[in-house]
Structure 1
Amino acid sequence: MKKEVRDVVFPSQFLGDVNQYKAGQGTFVENGKIYAERIGIQSIRNGVITVTPLKGSYEPHAGDVVIGIVEEVSTSTWLVDINAIYPALLHVNEVPWRVEFGDTARYLNYGDAVMAKVLSSNEPDRLQITLKDRGLYKINGGAIIEVEPTKVPRVIGKNGSMITTLKKFTNSRIFVGKNGRIWVDGEIDAIQKIEKAVRLIERDAHTYGLTERVIALLKNDGR
């Protein structure tokens, strides 16, 4: 019988030998043995051991597509909350509009949401993002649902299976940002269903049979 819950491991807990497995994210190697670097959920896939933290803030990486919220407007830049420790800088040169000096608020104002891409992340207090790429834009309409950034892979599902399920049963447009923000565009009741499903995924991300439970919830009108 398949076990229901993946293993919870603790810092410095022994996980395996390097002659059997490869050390993945959240682990470290010492004297040929693999140990947990943090408290989290251990997973083994394709011979690689990883430990996903139970909770944690978003750690930006260059190329990540995120959902940001404008929190400050200046004459030639915007500061955007991307759910990281520090806000990201968006310069007028990195938007698809020709913005005159001092006219930034006409295009993006406080509280506006954007689909953006992380440009650099070497220094956490000097993050930069861009809107100058395909699929990046100012968000109009819909709703934003927040989820633990560490649970994003589970919301998406293997090969996009979970997100496909959510779209199929709600007839909604959904985008999951790497930073734990989900944009949903659809009918009010569909958005409510999706939020309930996301909360279920967030709560039970470490369990098996999750897709079946999400489908059951969506079929039962979100109850």
Structure 2
Amino acid sequence: MVLPGEELKVSGLRPGFGTYREDGRLYASVMGLLSARPPFARVIPLAGRYIPQKDDLVLGVVQAVGPTYWLLDIRAPHFTPLHVSGVPWQLDYGETVEYLRPGETVLVRVEGLDENRRVGVSMSGPNLGKLDGGFLVEISPSKVPRVIGKSGSMIQLIQGSTGARLVVGQNGRVWIEGGPEQIRKVREVLQLIDEEGQRRGLTDRVKALLAAQGSGGRGSDASFQDQAEEEKE
């Protein structure tokens, strides 16, 4: 975690959201977690809405359909249009509703932001597209690096222990594919990471929770069982 005014020990990166440059050095302008993804260094606030950045992979939920676009909720301040030019299908005018309907979830890439910070997204590219079924959970965007872990270690631990499949968006949405019991277990782990992700020893606490789940124990919120019907260390 970094504090406002704290120097960021990175080199060769440009200032992104939550940072500023002074006398050739980068500093944090908000309290949050440092994300050093070339070519930018940015600070992800510990609280607040998702701030889109170019090349982010995000999970969007379709809110409305137009003749040549879909409006997505990606947890940004405004809904984001996904135009037919940004999907891998060949559509005729007005056929959009036959491909994506309100309430469905998609994995898209942030293509860029204009001068008014309006977001452009695309669904054309490897591993992008519609996610059928599954269960969607929201956490703080600042905790996404902790869910993924160093070199993917945390998400591999969660998937290997629960048998569920996870897709994590940098906007703080996690799509879970699995049965009700698998979903319940993953949700308990995600709640733990969301609440305690800034503390040391997170991996040990996650392992303890997963072990308790495997032995028939319960996590911090047993109510998940009823509701689940349906980076770095």
Scaled by the length of structure 2, what TM-score is found?
0.78
Matched, 1:119 2:115: no
Moved more, 52-61 or 100-109: 52-61
Tell me what 1:46 maps to: none
For residues 129 and 50 of structure 1, what CA distance do their matches in structure 2 show? 20
- The SS at the match of 1:213 is helix
Q: Report the CA distance between 1:206 and its aligned residue.
A: 1.1
Please tell me the residue identity of whatever aligns with 2:30: R
Q: Report the CA distance between 1:33 and its aligned residue.
A: 8.2
**Percent identity (aligned):** 39
Tell me what 1:201 maps to: 193
- Within the candidate set 160, 169, 174, 2:166 is matched to 174
- Within the candidate set 131, 134, 138, 2:130 is matched to 138
For residues 170 and 117 of structure 1, what CA distance do their matches in structure 2 show? 28
CA contact (8 A) 2:71 2:80 kept: yes
Q: Report the CA distance between 1:159 and its aligned residue.
A: 1.2
Q: 1:178 to 1:110 in 2, by over 3 A?
A: same
Give the aligned CA root-mean-square deviation in angstroms. 2.7
Tell me what 1:103 maps to: 95
Scaled by the length of structure 1, what TM-score is found?
0.81
For residues 195 and 107 of structure 1, what CA distance do their matches in structure 2 show? 29
Instruction: Give 5+ residue unaligned stretches, structure 1.
Output: 1-5, 44-48
Matched, 1:184 2:201: no
Paired positions, count = 207
For residues 87 and 22 of structure 2, what CA distance do their matches in structure 1 show? 46
- Within the candidate set 67, 72, 82, 1:75 is matched to 67
Please tell me the residue identity of whatever aligns with 1:142: G
Instruction: Give 5+ residue unaligned stretches, structure 2.
Output: 36-40, 220-233
CA contact (8 A) 2:66 2:94 kept: yes
Alignment of 1:37-48 (within 5 A): 37-40=29-32
Tell me what 1:163 maps to: 155
Tell me what 2:56 maps to: 64
CA contact (8 A) 2:33 2:142 kept: no
Q: Report the CA distance between 1:215 and its aligned residue.
A: 1.1
Q: 1:153 to 1:102 in 2, by over 3 A?
A: same
Q: Report the CA distance between 1:195 and its aligned residue.
A: 0.7
Tell me what 1:84 maps to: 76
Q: Report the CA distance between 1:109 and its aligned residue.
A: 1.2
- Higher-Rg structure is 1
For residues 52 and 123 of structure 2, what CA distance do their matches in structure 1 show? 16
